[in-house]
Chains A and B, each alone.
Chain A
């Protein structure tokens, strides 16, 4: 198997962009990626592209989105395909791109994600967001994704004494982190008290427990590690990449306080990278709802299941803590343009591991290894990546 390096990455700001569609969003992220390649890139060297998107522009382009986007940025003939695994679409685009390079078939591959969520009616938006879970039973019980994660949160509270306040600690932490991130959707600090008082969504969640709907795109350029230094002295190596599935429906799973898809993906990624959770210096994890970050601490090995909430109490995962988690603001405050999210995490990690965080105040210092974690829906799919800085 060939080793894989990342030599460029870019992303749009996440948020509400009435003037931009999927093509414009994708192009902005692509051009930022091109500029990030230190010694420049002959675009024709790109051999394949994997582009994650759930709704393909809210359903306007159900088929063949990938060639549409590639034709828009001057690469009409590159082998391109759309990848879909709900909120993990971007992570699976990255995973498939990494496998394509590792196989030796391609020297250079694009991984990308894009989602346009803000120009649909709220009615249509809620339709889209609820049909990536188990439609036949979960949806017809009147539940949405918020409802499914709320069921997990209730059970976690029952089994492990998690308190409502712990959920709000995740929200307050990630909002605080987003303030310094120019790419984030909500750059506004909130207190734990405020986060406990939002409009109810699905008990125990209020609106502050939920990630927003966002427009956005992210693009990552991968290559065979053997040629990485042709392009930059500071590649970021993708040392491990894992992905796994679970039963789509929550009622089919044995446990509601862990995501087996994440656990299996993490085990695969750690094994390939030859490192463990104790080696990770910072992480971007999938906090679509506040409980999801707490589940991730257990599933990624940062804490024992049931004890994850104490990491929050100790400030362990704050930007100034021992293991910063979601220093970007996370899905919660950086935003969650579904298909883009997994690649947006990789873009954040790439910049951090090259000491190029846009605002110096948010640069994580002396990091060698980082992890990103992207979940599809309520855990039907998950992808985990381990990165190593390349200039050391």
Chain B
């Protein structure tokens, strides 16, 4: 039993998951990612412009999910890899994102290290492979 994200629901977030499309607030100029109906910075603006984020950022915090602690939809991944890292990345444009890390450095992950978004398989549900972003050392 896994967290249920329907195919249409996943599809609606494709601009964010495939292309890191953020929403630039026309009132204050800051970028919301993921999108909000009202800007989370000025709490006023409700009109936005699409901007594609660079995918460049730095590790703000990290954890390593151990095999037994993975949610069911990531169980196979955890079994194959033993464990997998999850990061909070602060993007150079400002927003923070939560993401898995691929190719973690052998010497360990450090807060502040540079990372870059890459396009990867996330998981599978309802027979459909779901793609999205993960981050790799830059």
Contacts and interface: CB of A to CB of B under 8 A. Distances in A.
Nearest to A124: B1
Given A147-B69, A202-B64, A202-B69, 7 more contacts: A130-B3, A142-B78, A142-B86, A151-B62, A151-B86, A203-B63, A256-B61
Interface in B51-108: 60-66, 68-72, 74, 77-78, 83-84, 86, 88, 95-100
Contacts of B111: 154-155, 158
A44 B37 CA distance: 47
Interface in A164-218: 199-205
Contacts of A200: 64, 66, 69, 83
Given A154-B62, A202-B69, A247-B40, A140 B123 contact: yes
A152 interface: yes
A141 B99 CA distance: 5
Contacts of A256: 60-61, 88
Interface residues of B, number: 38
Contacts of A146: 69
B72 A123 contact: yes
Interface string A143-155: 1101100111011
A139 B71 contact: yes
Q: Which of A130, A138, A152 has the most CB of B within 10 A?
A: A130
Nearest to B112: A158
A249 B62 contact: no
B70 to A, nearest CB: 6
A316 interface: no
Interface of B: 1-3, 5, 9, 13, 34, 40, 60-66, 68-72, 74, 77-78, 83-84, 86, 88, 95-100, 111, 122-123, 130, 132
A72 interface: no
A139 B122 CA distance: 11
A135 B65 contact: no
A174 B47 CA distance: 49
B47 to A, nearest CB: 20
Contact of A154 (B34, B61, B97): B61
B68 A199 contact: yes
Nearest to B63: A150
Nearest to A121: B1
B86 A141 contact: yes
Contact of B98 (A141, A202, A247): A141
A124 B65 CA distance: 18
A386 B94 CA distance: 39
8 contacts: A135-B3, A135-B5, A136-B5, A138-B98, A141-B86, A142-B71, A146-B69, A256-B88
A250 B100 CA distance: 15
A137 interface: yes
Contacts of A151: 61-63, 86, 88, 98
Given A126-B72, A140-B123, A142-B70, A147 B63 contact: yes
A163 to B, nearest CB: 16
A15 to B, nearest CB: 21
B23 to A, nearest CB: 13
Contacts of A81: none
A142 B72 contact: no
A251 B69 contact: no
A218 B137 CA distance: 48
A127 B65 contact: no
A202 to B, nearest CB: 5
A155 B61 contact: yes
A252 interface: yes
A367 interface: no
A311 interface: no
A200 B61 CA distance: 18
A138 B5 CA distance: 13
Closest 9 CB pairs of A and B: A150-B63, A203-B64, A155-B61, A200-B66, A142-B74, A251-B96, A201-B69, A127-B1, A141-B98
Contacts of A31: none
B5 A140 contact: yes
A247 B13 CA distance: 19
A158 B61 contact: yes
Contacts of B3: 127, 130-131, 135, 139-140
